[in-house]
Amino acid sequence: MELSVLQKARYAYKPRLPSVLTQDLASIAVKQGASTEADADQEVLQALFKHTYGQPIVTFEKGACGTLTTRPLKVGVLLSGGQAPGGHNVIAGLHDGLKKGNPESLLYGLCKGPAGLVENKALLLNASTIDEYRNTGGFDIIGSGRTKIEKPEQFAASLATARALGLDAIVIVGGDDSNTNAAFLAEYFLDKEVPIQVIGCPKTIDGDLKNEYIEASFGFDTACKTYSELIGNICRDANSAKKYWHFIKLMGRSASHVTLECALQTQPNICFISEEVREKHWSLSQVVDTICESVVKRADAGNNFGIVLIPEGLIEFVPEMKALIDRLNDALTPSLSQELSSIRDPKLRVDLLSGKISKEALQLLQSLPLDIASQLLMDRDPHGNVQVSRIETEKLLIDMVGKKLYQLKASGLYKGKFSGLGHFFGYEGRCSFPSNFDADYCYSLGMNAFMLIAAGLTSYLGVIRNLSAPSQEWIAGGVPLTMMMNIERRQGSSKPVIKKALVELDGEPFKALVAKRDEWALKTSYLFPGSIQYFGPPEVCDQSTKTLQLERAGASRFN
C-alpha cells in the first residue's frame, strides 16, 4: 500500500498518556469513591439495573495496589454509530494496554459495529494490523454500524458470540445511545451470571456526550478544527470577492456545540445556537430578521458579504417548525409515505397532506419553498424522525432572506446587493487525521479501558479528565453508566437513556459568543485558524478547543 508523506509521519507519532497510565500495573492503585445515583428517575433506574446501579466512581492513582489482573485476557471491541477522528487510537491504546498486562492477551475487532457482536463477525487484531492504523482517521480498521442491541434474541446472540470467542470483556466505543446499550448488555450478562465485563468509551463529534466527568467526547476537537479551517477559508474568500453571503450548516442535530466552537474559532458575522432559538421561542421570521439586520447594516458600510453559521438541527428548534415536523411524523404512515413517493410533482405531494394535518400546519408547509417542503416529506429514519441533515436549512434561509431584502429594497430601507451561497460541512470532519489532542486523548481512552477491565469493573464509561492541562496531568478513571441516565420518551414509550448535553446558555462558551456577536455582525472580524497543525510549538499544535478552555478556565481565557 502506497502511503502519503503525512501517513508515514503520523505512524511515527507517539501519543502521550496521563502519567499514571505509564506505570507498571503493580504501581497503580484503584481509588473508589462513594456510591453514585442518577440525577433523576432513581427508583426506576435502580429497578432496571439492579446489578449495576449505584456503583462508585473510580480513579487510577500512583501507588501499590496488587488488584489489577495480569492474567491473559480476551477482549472484543466494537465501533458504534458515526465515525469520529481518533477511533483507531482507542483500539491501539486498548491493544497496547492488553499486551502490557500480559503478552498472551488477545484483542478481537467486532466488525461493522454491534452487528458484529450479534452475528459473530470478528477479526483478531494483531500488532501488524494495529500499526497500519495508528494516529489515522476513520473507522475502517473494523468498520462501524448503528445496530441496536435491544431485542431478547439480540442479547442472547451477543452472549453466544462472546462465549464462542471466549471473551472476558467487551469495549463499546460510541455515543449516548451506544453507551446506553452497553449498560443494558452489562446488566444482561450479570443477570445470566456470566462474568463478561462491558466498558464504554465516549465518542461523538457532536460534543453532546459530556458532563462534569466527561469533559469532551473524542473527535470533537479534530472535527471542529477541520470545519473551522474550511470556514476560515470561506471567510477569506468572502472578504476577497466581497459579493457573497455564505450560509454554512454544520453537524449537530441535538446540540449546537460544533457550531459554537467554530464560531469562537472563526468569528463569523452571525451564528445561531439552536438552544437559544428554542429558549427564546424565535419564529422562522425572527431568525430571518436577525440575518437581514446584519445584511442591511453591513451593506450600509459598503460590505455586501458575510458569513452565517447554522446548526444542523436548527429547524427542529424553531417552535413552529418543530410543531410542523411533529404533525408530519404522526401523519406519515407507511402507506402515506409510499403514496407520496409515487408522486413526482412536489406541489401535488404537499397538497396530498390536506386533511391529514392541521390547517395551520398545512399553511406553513405550503409557505415553504417546494424543495424544502419536499425534503420534510422524505422517508423517516429508523426512529421515525425527519432526517434533518437532508433538509437544506441553509438554502431555506437564503431564499427567505432574499425575499425579505427585496421587500426592504422596495421600501427604500435596503440599498445593497445580496447573493447567497449555501454549504453543509458534515462528512468532511468525521474521518480526518486526528489532531494531536485527539490522538493523545483517544490512545489514553483505550489504555484506560484496559485498566477498567484489569480492575474487574463492568458497566463503566472510561473517562479522562483535566483535559485542558498537559497530557501527563490528565486524570484517568471511570464512571458508572447508570449515573448518567434518565428516563425519556422515545418512539412513544419511556426508555432509559444517557442524557444529551446541550449548549448551556449560562455557560462560559456561550457567554463568550454573546459578548462579541453584536460586534461581529457589523464588522469584518474573521479569524483564519488554518489547517490542523501536527508539528510545531505546543501553543500551536497541542491546543484544545476554545470550548474546553472556557469551560475549564473561565471566560478570561477567551481572546
For the annotated catalytic residues, the residue numbers are: 206
| φ, ψ dihedrals at 65, nearest 5° | -135, -65
Task: Look at residues 486, 466, 458 and name the one whose alpha carbon lies nearest to residue 75.
Answer: 458
Q: Which residues contact residue 58 at a Cβ distance below 8 angstroms, ignoring those fewer than 6 apart?
A: 30, 31, 32, 33, 452, 455, 457, 460, 477, 478
Give the number of other CB atoms < 10 A from CB of residue 502. Answer: 17
Q: At 177, is the secondary structure helix, strand, or coil?
A: helix
Report whether 214 contacts 461 (CB < 8 A): yes
Report whether 170 contacts 199 (CB < 8 A): yes
Which residue, chain included where needed, has cell 410542523? 324
Which residue, chain included where needed, has cell 464512571? 479
Residue type, 75: V
Rounded Cα–Cα distance for residues 329 and 350 (Å): 14
Q: Torsion-angle region of residue 281: left (phi > 0), alpha (psi -120 to 50) or beta?
A: left
Rounded Cα–Cα distance for residues 332 and 73 (Å): 49
Task: Look at residues 17, 16, 15, 21 and name the one whose alpha carbon lies nearest to residue 60.
Answer: 21
Which residue, chain included where needed, has cell 461581529? 520
Q: Which residues contact residue 407 at a Cβ distance below 8 angstroms, ignoring those fewer than 6 apart?
A: none
Rounded Cα–Cα distance for residues 188 and 159 (Å): 9
Q: In the structure grid, which three cell numbers stand for residue 558, read together?
A: 477567551
Rounded Cα–Cα distance for residues 521 and 121 (Å): 53
Report whether 314 contacts 393 (CB < 8 A): yes
Q: In the structure grid, which three cell numbers stand for residue 353, read together?
A: 397532506
Task: Look at residues 175, 40, 113, 149 and name the one whose alpha carbon lies nearest to residue 494.
Answer: 40
Which string of DSSP letters, residue by residue, matches 192-258?
Answer: TT---EEEEEEB-TT--S--SS----BTHHHHHHHHHHHHHHHHHHHHHH---EEEEEES-SS--HH
